[in-house]
Structure 1
Amino acid sequence: MRLFSMTRTSCAVAAASLFATACAFGPSGNPPAMPEPAHYGAEEQSTQTVPAQGITQQFVVGANAVPQWWRTFESNELNALVDEGLRNSPTLAAADRNLTAAREQLRAQIGSNMLPAIDAGGQAARQRALGIPEAGPNTFLYNTFVGQLQAQYTFDIFGAARLANAALASRVNVQAFQFNAARRALAANIVTAAVSAAMLDAQVKTTERLVTLADEQARDTQRRYDLGAVSHSDLLNAQQSAASLAASLPAARQQLLTTRHALAVLLGSTPDAAPPPLDLASLHVPERVPVSVPSDLLKARPDIEAADATLKAAAADVGVATAQMYPSITLNASMGQGGFSWPVALSGAGALWSIGASITQPIFHGGALFAQRRAALASYEAATSQYKQTVLTAFQNVADTLAALEHDAQSLDAANVAARAAQRAFEETSAKYRLGAVPVTSTRSSEQQYLNARLDEIRYTGARLNDTAALFQAMGNPPAEEARAESVSTGAGPIAQ
């Protein structure tokens, strides 16, 4: 009993030692420590923008990312477009199916290398064998009937199979995070395209009015020239101005159509089914925008999570390459019935069975195993550097969008002041014209100044909306419980390891 106890203790110690060795075969896979800047940009970020069009955007530092953030624009038409795109996008559907296929491949690999393989086989044959001429006829005919079960299992002593499964699971997680990133990017692209289409539509309509005014001005100048009231150079200048405006209009219309076609494809439709442009005035700028702290951003952005999962897969690959240098033990067993006739094969005399084990220890492979491990280590170091670059790029993304929103508000405020002033001047000139105090050319010129100022306001309004969408997108996923709620409808949660 004492010998049995000592043997059992020795086996337990050996097993623990082997497990610890397997765990230490590769790097931990934990992401490298990254600096946490006090603020994202080169300048300390403000807590709010300047007021523009009566709206002051507040940056809520430390707030969580917003799920379905596009709904904060308070447009039912925009919400319907995003919902349609998420439901019908072929690109998103393909990514979802690829993710499902990757998960099934992981299940297949786990089942094949962690559980015994059991196969059933049967054989019935009639054979002709050569005999010995000195002993008689030189040909023998006989039948064989065999049926058996075969089992095989390779013990994962040094963790090669476990680490290979961990590597594949991490790569499945990469696809899951990339799917989430693609889903959010699709929503952002739909919002951006819809805002751009609304902005371009407003610009085209404003430009069309400017073209009309320029044509009227050219015709009026022509009449005045015919009467000798203006010089020929004045006529040429008026005609050149009208022609230049008319030449800019087709390009603006083309840009609008291109944006609408792109939006239709994002929605999973053909370009001829492109939705009409939204009314720019129906889109409201969210007043409160979340700004996650850098430490939370590392856990919220799908691209960073994908880089982290890639790092873990590379670390597991190092462990696999190391474990392949150690022995592997395989157990084989079979049982069945066989004989030269059916009665014999089905009787007790036809019982067949075998059991055995084999051990393999790599000794010489021309340096291939060492080279594979060095390659795995190099890939792990590359994944570490890629993770760092992904984090730095994410910080830059947030810094750029924060700065853009501040500058958008400043530009929009100035453009709005200019547009209001030009509008008041136009209204006053129109009133004077109705009283006969000024000629129609003054009214026309005043309206042109107002419309040009309005074009700038429209452009900065669209830029502010798009940059707000970009900041929401840059903040990444919502908190874990909300992310799980979203994944219920998409089936896009990561694989737990």
Structure 2
Amino acid sequence: MHSFKPSGPLTSRIIASALAVWLAGCAVGPDYVRPVMDTPSTYKESGLWKTAEPKQIDPNHNWWEMYGDSTLNALILQAMQANQNIHQAEAQYRQARAAADAARAGFWPSIGVNAGVDRALGNSNGIKLSNGYSAAVNASWEPDIWGSVRRAAEAGNAGSQASAADLAAARLSIQATLAQDYLQLRVTDLLQDLYARTAAAYTRSYKLTQSQYAVGVALRSDVALAESQLRTAEAQAIDLQAQRSQLEHAIAILSGKAPAEFSLPPAASDPQHLKQLAAHLPAIPTGLPSELLERRPDIASAERHVAVANASIGVARAAYFPTLMLSASGGFNAASLAQWFTTPSRVWSLGAALAQTLFDGGLRRARNAQAVAAYDVTVAQYKQTVLSGFQEVEDNLATLGVLEQETVVQEQAVKAAQLAEQLALSQYRAGTATYLGVVTAQTLALANERTLVQLLGRRLIASVALIKAVGGGWDATQLAAANPSQKNTAN
């Protein structure tokens, strides 16, 4: 039996290759693993509103188009182009991309050139003036032996993805806020229309009491009651204008305009407009709770910040190990211009330097502890963000479910109050009832109709909040496009 013994040079090459492969894969610090988060199988409140459907809002379409309002569509598209908060988030995203590019630059050597001419007075072999001409190319490189640059690049990539998620969250927030303000403004238009119709009815009642008083079949107090009721309704209608103006101003700012440059005319008065607007209340699929981790940009951003903190631990721990610096230079150095680029004037150098900190007063240990603590902070923030996301979905599901039931009952209350108002007026005209009964019935009818309109507004606001809570059709796979282009890295 013969044993094979490799030759010395071959053995050296094998050992060198194995060492290079080991160093290429060596990166101190923990490899990233997403924090484990327990998620329920279904939402608790989904049954109160509608049967849960295991699907999501279509990411290929704009969610606000589900409301069927062309004005809302145009306003949101304008806000996406002009809103300053979105511009700020976009600039921060570009800043994060540049930081990631800067981190990856550490994989490569730095190369520079220099050229110089000098004239000096020396006293070697007698005092004399001499000229010097030099030109050289210099290169230096610190191999990423312990993975410090790789961890920094990981942190940069995760940071750019977190910033991309923050940009998506900013866009969704602006879209949802603008939609809620716009829908609330349209509900205010409905209330103004309700008060306009009510004031017209109260005016007729006021004239009726005047006529009844003129022929002696009504008391002066009836006229006073009718006038008081009319003026109260007119005052409440005027108060609504303040709310509408504030909503209009908010929409202007969200759209990137000054309030003085923006105006939104009231919706056309239509007694059937309430029913038409309610018909546009969309059914919103919420998907499964586990999908929320991939659908909300704020959750994705929090998770990416955990990845940044994890990579930062590796950067901190790499400081415990020695650093190796390789350098090389080559060029020409001559005493005269004619001899500058000749062979005898050629110079070069190669060098390697190994450095290790022996004592730093506990600085590296403190930085490592700081990085670990920062990681624990981001993990807690991530889990809290997930829990808050679940709460927002559950809150709005419960709100929509309860408001739907309340609306059904309130519609019945409106019909009953309208009938009571008609009967009270008929009885007053016939002289079989006092005007106090008419005032009571009319006040009750107005209160019930106003509540019904406000319920519609609350349902619309809650529906937008639910869309925002489930991510508005965003998906974490979009972060892949936010990853800076990967380049060949040197180790």
> Matched residues in 1 for 2:451 and 2:367: separation?
60
Q: Matched residue of 1:182: which SS?
A: helix
Q: How far did residue 190 of structure 1 move?
A: 1.5
Asked if 2 retains the 8 angstrom alpha-carbon contact of 1:121 and 1:147, the reply is yes
Note the C-alpha offset of 1:179. 0.4
CA drift at 1:114:
0.9
- Letter of the aligned partner of 1:64 in structure 2? Q
**Residue of structure 1 equivalent to 2:56:** 64
Q: 2:35 aligns with which of 14, 17, 32?
A: 32
Asked if structure 2 preserves the Cα contact closer than 8 Å seen for 1:426 and 1:446, the reply is yes
**TM-score, normalised relative to structure 1:** 0.84
User: How far apart, CA to CA, are the structure 2 residues paired with 1:88 and 1:33?
Assistant: 39
- 1:81 lines up with 2:75 in the alignment: yes
Answer yes or no: is 1:155 the counterpart of 2:155.
Answer: no
Q: CA offset at residue 160 of structure 1?
A: 0.3
Q: Does 1:409 align with 2:404?
A: yes
Specify which of 219, 231, 240 is matched with residue 230 of structure 1. 219
Residue 458 (1) aligns with residue 450 (2): no
Counterpart Cα distance in 1 of 2:182 and 2:151: 46
| Greater shift in the superposed pair: 190-199 or 83-92 | 83-92
Which of the residues 97, 117, 125 maps onto 1:124?
117
Q: Indicate if the aligned counterparts of 1:148 and 1:334 stay in contact, CA closer than 8 A.
A: yes
Q: Give the secondary structure class of the aligned counterpart of 2:351.
A: strand
CA distance in 2: counterparts of 1:386 and 1:98, whole angstroms: 21
Letter in 2 for 1:83: L
Number of the residue aligned with 1:53: none
Is the partner of 1:320 in helix, strand or coil?
A: helix
Shift of 1:480: 5.0
Distance change >3 Å, CA 459–CA 240, structure 1 → 2: same
- CA–CA distance in structure 2, aligned partners of residues 477 and 26 of structure 1: 36
Query: Counterpart amino acid of 1:181?
Result: A
Tell me if 1:350 matches 2:345: yes
| Cα-to-partner distance string for 1:432-467 (whole Å, 9 max, x where unaligned) | 599979899688876554433221111111111111
1:373 aligns with 2:368: yes
Read off the aligned partner of 1:156 and give its amino acid letter.
D
CA contact 2:122–2:129 (8 Å) conserved in 1: no
Partner of 1:340: 335
Match of 2:265 in 1: 276
How far apart in 1 are the matches of 2:345 and 2:182? 77
Are positions 1:143 and 2:146 aligned together?
no
Query: What is the CA–CA distance in structure 1 between the aligned matches of 2:401 and 2:280, rounded to whole Å?
Result: 13
Within the candidate set 293, 300, 319, 1:324 is matched to 319
Map 1:79-478 onto structure 2 (within 5 A): 79-111=73-105, 113-127=106-120, 129-131=121-123, 136=126, 138=127, 140-211=128-199, 229-230=218-219, 241-272=229-260, 273-278=262-267, 281=274, 283=277, 284-423=279-418, 449-476=444-471, 478=473
1:59 touches 1:288 (CA, 8 Å); kept in 2? Answer: no
Q: Counterparts of 2:184 and 2:382 in 1: how far apart (Å)?
A: 33
Distance in 1 of aligned mates of 2:240 and 2:33? 51
Report how far residue 215 of structure 1 moved: 6.3
CA 1:352–1:427 in structure 2 vs 1: closer, same or farther (change >3 Å)? farther
CA separation of 1:346 and 1:12: change in aligned 2, threshold 3 A:
closer
Query: C-alpha root-mean-square deviation of aligned residues, in Å?
Result: 3.3
Distance in 2 (alpha carbons) for counterparts of 1:130 and 1:459: 94
Aligned in 2, Cα 1:124/1:130: closer, same or farther, shift over 3 Å? Answer: closer
**In structure 2, C-alpha distance between the alignment counterparts of 1:389 and 1:230, rounded to whole Å:** 66
Q: In structure 2, how many angstroms separate the alpha carbons of the residues matched to 1:217 and 1:3?
A: 114
Greater CA drift, 440-449 or 183-192: 440-449
Q: TM-score, normalising length from structure 2?
A: 0.85
Deviates more, 1:407-416 or 1:273-282: 273-282
C-alpha contact 1:317 1:376 (8 A) present in aligned 2:
yes
Q: In 2 relative to 1, CA 393–255 (structure 1 residues): closer, same or farther, beyond 3 Å?
A: same
Q: Would the aligned equivalents of 1:61 and 1:291 in 2 still touch at CA under 8 Å?
A: yes
What corresponds to 2:3 in structure 1? Answer: none
SS at match of 1:291: coil
Once residues 393 and 496 of structure 1 are traced to their aligned partners in structure 2, the CA distance between those partners, rounded to angstroms, is 33
1:273-300 CA-partner distances (Å, limit 9, x unpaired): 1323456645443453211211111111
Q: Do the aligned partners of 2:332 and 2:340 also contact (CA within 8 Å) in 1? A: yes
Question: Which digits, 9 at most, give the CA deviation of each residue in 1:135-168, with x for residues without a partner?
Answer: 65x5x32222211111111100100011011111
User: 198-207 or 456-465: which moved more?
Assistant: 198-207
Q: Provide closer, same or farther for how the CA distance between residues 131 and 7 of structure 1 changes in structure 2, counting only shifts above 3 A.
A: closer
Provide closer, same or farther for how the CA distance between residues 124 and 59 of structure 1 changes in structure 2, counting only shifts above 3 A.
Answer: farther
The unaligned stretches of length 5 or more in structure 2 are 1-5, 487-491
| Total equivalences in the alignment | 470
- Amino acid in structure 1 at the alignment position of 2:102: A
Query: Residue 424 of structure 2 contacts residue 433 of structure 2 at CA under 8 Å; is this kept in 1?
Result: no
Code of the residue aligned with 1:153 in structure 2: it is: W
Structure 2 residue matching 1:26: 3-state secondary structure? coil
Could you give the per-residue CA deviations for residues 97-141 of structure 1, whole angstroms, max 9, x where no partner exists?
321232133223312x111111111112223x3537xx65x5x32
Contact residue 180 and residue 492 of structure 1 kept, 8 A: no
Asked if 2 retains the 8 angstrom alpha-carbon contact of 1:195 and 1:278, the reply is: no
For 2:310 and 2:231, how far apart are their aligned partners in 1? 65
Gaps spanning 5+ residues in structure 1: where? 50-57
